[in-house]
Amino acid sequence: IGGDLGYTNDPTELVVFQELELVDRRVLKLILRVHMEHVAYPHIAQAIALLDRYYTATGIGVDNGGNGLAVVQELHTLNKYKDLQLDGRLRGYDFGGMTTLAVRDGKEVRKRTKEFMTSLINGALQRRQIVFPAEDLELEDQFTTHTYTLRDGRVVYSKGNDHIIDAVRCALLAREQANLDQVGEETVSLIPVLTDPVFI
């Protein structure tokens, strides 16, 4: 489950993916998208809890800005959500923050969180590992009109109508989180490989 949580000017978008095992690959299929406008954070928390109760999500990611922080705190701390056991499954992500991808020579290899989230979407699309419903024209419009520019070597994404994309970003990072939680020191082993001669 992924969510871009808004309240006043921005809508809330929640997306639910199902992971399918095909013969040659695993595929994420968008099975539900919920669009809400002018909904207060306690009700957004209830909606996420309801989706989790119904679908039993392996991971839930939401943006940590605005309502996101309040929703994450409410879902983690209120007694009425304790039965969901969201610790380790629900995460709030700071789009402007950094994500550690690896540790090399004692130094963290980091990437801007929003860029990393976007690379997860791009990779899934290129590998044909993500499926969106053809009839969701709003989703198609957002993906096909979303742009970025490079400013001082940094990617700056266009502002505006990208709430569904941000929800998908959060869902894919929540899915990837188990791998990121295991990031540790990489050991590079140089082993000579013998092959048949390529030049004769």
Q: In this model, does residue 186 exceed pLDDT 90?
A: no
The pTM (predicted TM-score) of the whole model is 0.87
**Whole-number average pLDDT of the chain:** 89
**What distance in Å separates the CA atoms of residue 163 and residue 149, rounded to the nearest whole number?**
19
Give me the helices (H) in the chain, please: 41-55, 67-77, 113-126, 137-145, 163-181
What are the sequence ranges of the domains in the chain?
2-184
pLDDT digits (tens, 9 = 90+) for 24-76: 889 999 999 999 999 999 999 999 999 999 999 999 999 998 789 999 999 99
pLDDT tens digits, residue range 80-92?
A: 999 999 999 999 9
Instruction: Tell me the CATH class for 2-184.
Output: alpha beta
